Amino acid sequence: MAFIFLFILFLGNEAFSQPALTAQSAILVEAKRGKILFQKNIHQKMSPASITKIMTAILVLEKGNLDDWVITSKRAATREVGESAIWLEEGEEMTLRDLLYALLIKSANDAAVAAAEHISGSVEEFVKLMNKKAKDLGAFETHFSNPHGFYGKEHYSTAYDLSLIARYALKNPYFAQIVKTKKEIIPWEGHPWERVLINRNKLLWRYKWADGVKTGSTKEAGYCLVASATRSNFQLVSVVLKSKKVWADSISLLNYGFKSYQLKNLISKEEEVKTISLPLGKPRKLRLVSADRFEVVQRKDALSSEVEREIKLRKKMKIPIKKEEVMGRLAFKNRGKDLGGVSLIAATDIE
């Protein structure tokens, strides 16, 4: 028995041991709620490289019409040696939709500039939108100076802020669809062949649960990656910045998250919570049920008894009562810390 106990204990410690990373800064969060599962220098300001394009894509989706035709400017068609691009030519026309695919999948800087100019009239005005949106999302340690990620002293973010931005972006179904696309073909005006876009995120091939999101690399930023992966409706988002082993670091983080944490359902929608007696009305008993499903992210070794329930009912209950009328609230707590809760609603009409 002692041997079995020690063996289980060994497995448990192995599962919950935090990964050793080469990245200078990193974070792992649960996608929906943002619970931090791992952190390393998460508020250190770093160059985000092409991870910047997540914010560019957000604004393209929210401010633009994807069916618009965009005319490539001289600025968008100007490239530096080694720059990631789809080789747009001045005057070339392309839909905003195809530019969006190009900047997210191929990480094309020229596509990012063309899209930015189309949305705001100039790169400079678009950058203002980027910084405003960052603040709106709570990314207060972020400042952008371009839409593609070229290094600049005033172009920086943190692992924490980038996780906020990525989580927000993934809520958009079209964004989520694009960033998990391995290959896309878009037109190439004036050529007998088309542009073939191959996603630079190698995790889409190397990690079977991967479903996003964006790579980045410059001399100053090093290798960077925001990755997402989903298992059994449990989605994680990792950020690694200035990593020597960007793919291995990201996989280590995601594996740690899936092995150590789980999505725990505390109550289901319409689950009965309490039955109360009424002084008047028919019937005299009222069943209160949960208005929604409520889940929390918890370590797999956490005890169910650590989660406490607290019911607060409405002080005045007037008859009649309509079905689904809010009658109170069910709160969940862990060692005094509020985890959130759900409304309690009437299961039936009371006349």
| Whole-number Å distance between alpha carbons of 150 and 219 | 10
Q: What's the Cα-to-Cα distance from 280 to each of 286, 322, 345, 349, rounded to whole Å?
A: 11, 14, 18, 13
- Omega before 213 cis (within 30°)? yes
Q: What's the Cα-to-Cα distance from 141 to each of 36, 115, 164, rounded to whole Å?
A: 17, 25, 11
Q: Active site includes 312?
A: no
Q: What's the Cα-to-Cα distance from 146 to each of 116, 163, 217, 275, 323, rounded to whole Å?
A: 9, 19, 15, 58, 53
Q: % helix / strand / coil in the chain, to the nearest 5?
A: 30, 30, 35
Q: What is the DSSP string of 211-252?
A: EEEEEEEETTTEEEEEEEEEETTEEEEEEEEEESSHHHHHHH
Q: Active site includes 35?
A: no
| Whole-number Å distance between alpha carbons of 120 and 124 | 8
Catalytic residue among 40, 53, 106, 242: 53
Catalytic residue among 50, 84, 238, 260: 50
Residue linked to tokens 């935090």:
18
Contacts 24+ apart (CB under 8 A), 104-107: 104/53, 104/57, 104/175, 104/178, 104/179, 104/214, 105/178, 105/179, 105/181, 105/184, 105/197, 105/198, 105/199, 105/200, 106/197, 106/198, 106/200, 107/50, 107/53, 107/200, 107/214, 107/215, 107/216
Please tell me the total number of residues recorded for the chain in this structure. Answer: 351
**Phi first, then psi: what are they for 317, rounded to 5°?**
-120, 105
Q: Active site includes 84?
A: no
Catalytic residue among 25, 107, 217, 252: 107
| Whole-number Å distance between alpha carbons of 338 and 304 | 15
Would you name the residues annotated as active-site residues?
50, 53, 107
